[in-house]
Amino acid sequence: MLFALWDNRRIRNNVIQVLLFAGFAGLLFWLWSNTAANLAARGIRVGFDYLNRQANFPISESVLPYDPSDTFGWAYVIGVTNTAVISLTAIIISTFIGLVIALVRLSNNPLASKMAALFVGVIRNMPLIVQLLFWYALATTVLPAPRLAFNPLPGFYLSLRGLYVPAISLGPQAGPFAAACLAVLIAAVIMRRLAPISAWSLSKWVLLGGLAVAAVVLLRPSVSFPELKGFNFIGGLRLSPEFAALMLGLVLYTSVFISEVIRGGIEAVSRGQWEAGRALGLSERHVMFRIIIPQALRIIVPPMTSQYLSTVKNTTLALAVGYPELGLVVGTVINQTGQAIESISILLAVFLTISIAVSMFMNWYNAHVALVTR
């Protein structure tokens, strides 16, 4: 009887599925209960109530405002936004640089092509952490002290403390104005869909001019110049050496990988496409950007997703050069609170979320550029 049941393929498969699932659930339960028992035995409190307590530790730079009197939860948010900003900036810049390197490497100029190949070979074969430390050490040894800052233009100062440039600050109407600009932009996009381009070309210039006048009149922008007061520069916009070293290292490293992905994609498009394009009388540039690259995208996008994901994860190396991304914040919180399991879980959850978001976007884009067969 049992043998007869076992011989039935559907029943057999279902039984195996149920057993596997039970085994997996059992493993999870065992891990969970074991962890709880061990933590209780060692007198370690578990819970997320510490997130509402005052953090008290400083974070060197952040995109959103942060003060040590904010909570541990907000410190995590600062870490996440810093990670998101460096990831996003590095991904966008490296994609452009990667495209340029790929095009140079594919060019007919042997010198340019060989130089690009050498560049890719050198950067790709050195560990990222070494490059980051190199750029940071270079920045902190070559640049002068703040009192001897390099001052190429009025208001521009380059020193060990970073690059300071004049900042344009806007009046209190900046928020509503930005909202109005966004509304106009959306309206313009809709208009463009409706009207033929030639018809709205003039109105576009009128609109832009109107906006510029409105901006100056409404916002009364003022410029703040950085100046040396005491130990440091006050005022202006600042690019810290930590951020600069991290960005330089990440962008160079990522862009050479991206350039190889793009080059592979372009070379995979059949020669016949080039020849067909030329036969139609299109210029080389048109052939490249209108015919070859759209087809290459289908090949490029999936490996590009992996590169973007690596970039997001590589940002955790920033702690070596003192940039406060999420990993550094999590490490500090563990030390201040001792809540290692909760903090590491948050770190894992955040990276999982960012990575899944990136890959979902890339999958959507991949479907968008995929060859549609009718």
Q: Identify the residue among 309, 347, 354, 358 touching another protein (CB under 8 A).
A: 347
User: 144 to each of 133, 157, 159, 243, how far by Cα in Å?
Assistant: 19, 10, 5, 18
Q: How far apart are CA 35 and CA 39, in angstroms?
A: 6
Q: Phi and psi at residue 170, in whole multiples of 5°?
A: -105, 155
User: 146 to each of 38, 158, 357, how far by Cα in Å?
Assistant: 52, 8, 41
CB contact at 8 A, 309 and 237: no
Q: How far apart are CA 85 and CA 363, in angstroms?
A: 22
Give yes or no for residue 270 binding another protein (CB under 8 A): no
CB of residue 176 to another protein, shortest distance in Å: 31
Q: Which is nearer to another protein, 336 or 366 (CB)?
A: 336
Scanning the structure block, which residue is given the tokens 């060989």?
114
Q: Which stretch binds another protein (CB under 8 A): 179-187, 208-216, 280-288, 331-339?
A: 331-339
Give yes or no for residue 328 binding another protein (CB under 8 A): yes
Give yes or no for residue 107 binding another protein (CB under 8 A): no
Give yes or no for residue 19 binding another protein (CB under 8 A): no
Q: Which is nearer to another protein, 291 or 319 (CB)?
A: 319
Give yes or no for residue 319 binding another protein (CB under 8 A): yes
DSSP state letters, 269-309 = S-HHHHHHHHHTT--HHHIIIIIIHHHHHHHHHHHHHHHHH
Amino acid at 293: I
Q: How far apart are CA 348 and CA 139, in angstroms?
A: 32
Number of residues that bind another protein (CB under 8 A): 53
Scanning the structure block, which residue is given the tokens 């061990």?
38
Q: Which is nearer to another protein, 37 or 92 (CB)?
A: 37
Give yes or no for residue 47 binding another protein (CB under 8 A): no
Give yes or no for residue 344 binding another protein (CB under 8 A): yes
DSSP-derived letter for residue 230 is: T
Q: Is 136 exposed, middle or buried (0-12, 13-18, 19+ CB in 10 A)?
A: buried
Q: What 3-state class would DSSP assign to 22? A: helix
Build a one-symbol-per-residue string for 116-155: x at contacts with another protein by CB under 8 A, - elsewhere: -------------x-------x--xx---x----------
Give yes or no for residue 163 binding another protein (CB under 8 A): no
Q: Identify the residue among 8, 17, 34, 151 touching another protein (CB under 8 A).
A: 34
Q: Identify the residue among 338, 352, 357, 368 touching another protein (CB under 8 A).
A: 338
304 closest CA partner among 258, 351, 237: 258
CB of residue 344 to another protein, shortest distance in Å: 5
Give yes or no for residue 335 binding another protein (CB under 8 A): yes
Considering only residues 68 to 87 of the shown chain, the ones binding another protein according to CB under 8 A are 68
Q: Which stretch binds another protein (CB under 8 A): 30-38, 114-122, 190-198, 263-271?
A: 30-38
Build a one-symbol-per-residue string for 210-229: x at contacts with another protein by CB under 8 A, - elsewhere: -------------------x
Give yes or no for residue 23 binding another protein (CB under 8 A): no
DSSP state letters, 198-265 = HHHHHHHHHHHHHHHHHHHHHH--EEE--EEETTEEESSEEE-HHHHHHHHHHHHHHHHHHHHHHHHH
Q: Which is nearer to another protein, 68 or 210 (CB)?
A: 68
**Max Cα distance, the chain (Å):** 92
For binding to another protein (CB under 8 A), which residues are involved? Answer: 31, 34-35, 37-39, 41-45, 56-60, 68, 129, 137, 140-141, 145, 160-161, 229-232, 234, 241-242, 316-317, 319-322, 324, 327-328, 330-332, 334-338, 340-341, 343-344, 347
